[in-house]
A = this chain, B = another copy of it.
Amino acid sequence: MNGVATISVINSKPTAAIIADKLREGIIEGAFAPGDQINEAQVAGQLNVSRGPVREALHRLVQEGLLLARPNRGVFVQDLTRRDVAEIYASREVIECAAAEIILRGDRDLRSATAERLHAIVDRMQAAIESDDWTALGRIDLEFHTLLVGDAGNSRLVRAYATLATEALMCLTHFPGAYPRPERVLPAHREIADYVRDGDMEVLQRTLHRHLSLTSIDHGPDDGRALVHPRAEAGGDA
């Protein structure tokens, strides 16, 4: 072991994974608008790789639900309808509540450890708010919830939640109005962390439900068309 031991692995990930991450970022950030077609050859050209890995990356994103593949026609960025947003948040609530229940059945020390890590994330959320970085805030918010699910220790739930988390991020960038005012974000998450530590399932579940319910979207009419900027009617959180 000499001095070069800590050189980062040259190309640890396969190319397809890197491309998938890049594209996922682009979709989340809004670089591709919903409905846009993503052309294999074009992406391959921009990234200076062959169509093979690009194709693989695109198919992965299709399976994640971010893209829609029409056979022999191409892949397109998914539209987010009211129904989709409602589904995403409802599913998140399902998995998060389940994770919470598992965690709360566990040891008190484990719960404290989880709560502590959750609080650490909330502190980072505060920092993001203070520097007016809304993109970062959304990501950290999702990180909070992903940690909650992760600490339940069920990899199946984690996997299912991961795709929901990226979809939720997509919601945030496309419907910026859906994110609540910052002064309510911090207390809400602190509450959740505290209830995890104290082990109060009843209250925790209610809090998560309130935190993740998009009442107006949930009960509004579903016209099947994509939302554009429902700033006035969304009341949920990440």
A residues sitting closer than 8 Å to B (CB atoms) are 14, 52, 55-56, 59-60, 63, 65, 71, 87-88, 90-91, 94-95, 98, 102, 154-157, 159-160, 163-164, 167
Chain B residues near A159: list those with CB within 8 A: 65
Number of copies of this chain that the complex holds: 2
Q: Which residues of B contact A59 (CB under 8 A)?
A: 56, 59-60
Complex: how many Å from CA A167 to CA B90? 24
Contact, CB under 8 Å: B98 / A94: yes
Instruction: Point out the residues of chain B lying under 8 angstroms from A98, CB to CB.
Output: 94
Determine the main DSSP class of A at the interface with B: helix
Residues from chain B with a CB closer than 8 A to the CB of A91 are 154, 156-157, 160
A236 CB to closest chain B CB (Å) equals 16
Measured between alpha carbons, how far is A164 from B14 in the docked complex, in Å?
27
Output the least CB separation between A217 and chain B (Å). 14
* CB of A224 to closest CB in B, whole Å: 13
Given contacts A59-B60, A63-B63, A71-B14, contact A154 B95 (CB under 8 A): no
| Closest Cβ–Cβ distance, residue A129 to chain B (whole Å) | 29
Q: Is the pair A87, B56 in contact by a Cβ cutoff of 8 Å?
A: no
- B residues in contact with A154, CB < 8 Å: 87, 90-91
30 contacts between A and B (CB under 8 A): A14-B71, A52-B52, A55-B56, A56-B56, A56-B59, A59-B59, A59-B60, A60-B63, A63-B63, A65-B159, A87-B154, A87-B155, A87-B156, A87-B157, A88-B156, A90-B102, A90-B154, A90-B156, A91-B154, A91-B156, A91-B157, A91-B160, A94-B94, A94-B95, A94-B98, A94-B157, A156-B163, A156-B164, A156-B167, A160-B160
